[in-house]
Structure 1
């Protein structure tokens, strides 16, 4: 049934006549009469009957007017709740984040959101930038947290806005017995002949490792694809591979791994991303919470972890 016609019936019920209903609705009496005639045809019942110079509701009219009142009240409540969303951060907000950010930044950010905006209901989806950004464009999520290396930047869609949350160095992890592990820093062009642990094949993280080395005329021999830096470091500790490991989200370095700086230094930036023009209160609150939880301001690097962490594993030459 047409909502405007239900509104006309409700007005007649509330004001007692077609003329009064028309005045309240700022339309003509004939316009109200036409709406009611159409509503009777839709309902299949007579809704009004003559009463002196006016009309009164039939039994069917009273039944339908009661439903109309409840429908209009529910719509008014919905409009009020939506207006509240414009004024304050409330309701659902969907976040997509890369694995390292999901483990390190998001728990703190969601704690901040809960404290500042208790009426907000955030949910988190973990994934790769290659999946998260298209989901953001489609509107499946509201906010994304993705990484970008300066040696292989993550392409940002044209329809999004983004802010940097942090900027960290990406270090080289080597087996502690590898000849290069005695150095404090290693040039990227010195890394020929190493075997590598990298992120899942086809992801932005793997592309960043490959592009960083190829830019220095080093063709990487990737023997391990693992979507977790902790596991990559376990392969390094076993003397099976080398790895590039950003400082964000890096777990304590296991025994048998040596962490070295690279020349030049590789940087990883973490960005919060949202659809341009869709930064309502919920998204704005989420962005501010992420910025508060991210740690050092953009441009300041995190302090490196201790350079070495034991000598319990072997690995040299081609074995890394």
Structure 2
């Protein structure tokens, strides 16, 4: 659940020496806008309407995501002391013991909220939390790292399906698509510090193209032979449901493809970091496209609306 570490460089928040600013940086608060869409896409894929249990699941997802963010920095504090000494832990603005305490509290809260969503949601949340911890404490430094990150995102989507409808089978295709995006993004992020070969961002670019095509088609409603206003309303709804996935997919491609292309042409650390930042931001329109293709235009629009909010807050606090 922890986002790929990419030291993009928005301007530091004012008062960055304060405890609140340090925790905002450690928690990467703007990155939270990439989380609710997982659950909403899962709910939409399960053909369920979001309800109170869906909201509990979103709370669970947010807590587990933040647990992963803080645990990532706690596990990397020695490495960050050499490469990123300005980060909250190596700079001493947040104590390691306090960070680890926050990780445990967030994990417990996430599981408790999942339990509040029902037993099916808790059944998904437990392996999700285990994947978060396993990734941050070891798997991210192994070849299995990208797959573990992809599994975490996929499980987060399935959490929404389990909470809303009690089953996850119908949400598996959407989980696979979101996981594939995350796999490609995480593979690129492994080269952000020192740069790398162009094949990795090229593969991510190709993946973006394939995913764009797959998520650009949504459900349509049969018009039948209904006369008058009712037939026109169904026709209008059918047109919206058909057009919205393509619009969201186009936004996804526009956000991710260009920085991936730049990193392919010049896989330097700065351009690789921008590629990872673009991939993270592209998660939101991808989630919106997944909602739209499942026939949930309201969830798609709510998710899409998070993108400009994330961009606005990222100017003050780094998303990674």
TM-score (norm 2): 0.20
Higher helix proportion (structure 1 or 2): 2
TM-score (norm 1): 0.20
Higher strand proportion (structure 1 or 2): 1
Q: Which one has more relative contact order, counting CA pairs under 8 Å at least 6 apart?
A: 2
**Which has more radius of gyration?**
1
